[in-house]
Amino acid sequence: MLGALHGPAELLPVSSSAHVALIPQLLGWPYTSLEPSERKSFEVAAHSGAALGLAWVARRDLGTLRSAILTTLPPALAGFALERPVEERFGSPRQLALTQVFAGVLLAAADHRGATRPERDAGALDELAIGAAQAVALIPGVSRMGAVLTMARALGFDRAASARLARRAALPVLAGAAALKGARGVPRRLAAPFAAGAATSLVSTLACVPLVRRLDRSRSLAPFAAYRVALGAAILAAGRSGSMAA
C-alpha cells in the first residue's frame, strides 16, 4: 500500500516522503516500528519503482546532457554533504506538517504570477535554479516535484512547461539515489516486502499518467497547494490532541 501511495505522491507536488512517513502513523500501521535506516531503505526501493515509471512517463521530456548535469549537480552535492544531518534532525510529524503548510503557501504564491515562458526558453541559469530547488527537497516534506514547480513558476515558466521541467529534472536524481543507496544493500528479511513496494510504486506511477497529463493542462496549482496546507494543518491538530508522536 505504501508503494502504491508513493507513485502519485512522487509525480504530484505533495511530497512522497511526507506521505510515506505520516500515513502509517495516522493509521497505526506497523511500518513505524522499523528502524529509521530500514524505513529509508524502503523509500529507496519505492523510489526505484517510481524512477522506472517516471522514465516511461517522461520519455518525451528528456533534455540535453547539460540540463541533466545542471539540475542534478546541486541535489547531488547537497545529498553528499548533508544527507546524514538532515536525516538526524528532520522527519518528525510536526516538522513534516509545518513544511507541508509552508511549501503549499509558496506553491500558491508562485503559481499566482500568471507566467508564460515556454519550456524551450530554459537556459543554464534556469536549470541551476531548478537544481537548487531539488537540493532543498532533501528536507523531508518539501516535495521534489513541488519545489521545482514552485521555482519554475517563480522563474516565469507556464504551468505545462513547469511540469515537464520538473519531471525531466527528477528522473536522474531519483535514479541516482536509488542506485547509490540500493548498492548498500537491503536487509534479507525485508527483501520480499521491499520488492513488493517497488513493484507497486512502478505500477502506481504508470497508472498516474492521466493525472500527470491533467497537471500539464491545469489552469491552477491552487488545489495542490490547498491540499498541502490542509494536510499539514490536520497533522498539527492531531499532534496537539496527542494522537501522534511529536
Residue 185 has pLDDT above 70, yes or no: no
Within-domain flag for 179:
yes
Cell of 180: 547509490
Question: Across all residues in the chain, what is the average pLDDT?
Answer: 84
Q: DSSP secondary structure string, 91-144?
A: --HHHHHHHHHHHHHHHHHHHTT---B-GGG--HHHHHHHHHHHHHTTSTTS-H
Residue 7 is predicted with a pLDDT of 83
Q: Which of 42-46, 64-68, 195-199 has the lowest mean pLDDT?
A: 64-68
pLDDT > 90 in the chain, percent: 29
Residue 241 is predicted with a pLDDT of 65
Within-domain flag for 166:
yes
Overall average pLDDT of the 127-150 stretch: 93
Residue 65 is predicted with a pLDDT of 65
Domain that holds residue 74: 2-241
Within-domain flag for 246:
no
* SS3 annotation, 132-173: HHHHHCCCCCCCHHHHHHHHHHHCCECHHHHHHHHHHHHHHH
Q: Which residue has the cell 524502503?
A: 42
Q: Which residue has the cell 542534478?
A: 72
Please state, in angstroms and rounded to a whole number, the distance separating the CA atoms of residues 243 and 60.
Answer: 45
Neighbours of 211 (CB within 10 A): 12
Reported as a single tens digit per residue, the pLDDT across 119-132 is 889 999 999 999 99
Please report which confidence band the pLDDT of residue 224 belongs to, taking 50, 70 and 90 as the band edges. Answer: very high
Reported as a single tens digit per residue, the pLDDT across 82-133 is 888 887 788 888 899 999 999 999 999 999 877 789 988 999 999 999 999 9
Within-domain flag for 79:
yes
Question: Which residue type sits at 197?
Answer: G
Answer whether 0.75 is exceeded by the pTM: yes
Reported as a single tens digit per residue, the pLDDT across 24-54 is 877 888 877 788 778 877 888 888 888 888 8
Reported as a single tens digit per residue, the pLDDT across 161-181 is 998 898 888 888 877 777 766
Domain count along the chain: 1
Within-domain flag for 137:
yes
Please state, in angstroms and rounded to a whole number, the distance separating the CA atoms of residues 1 and 196.
Answer: 9
Please report which confidence band the pLDDT of residue 246 belongs to, taking 50, 70 and 90 as the band edges. Answer: very low
Within-domain flag for 47:
yes
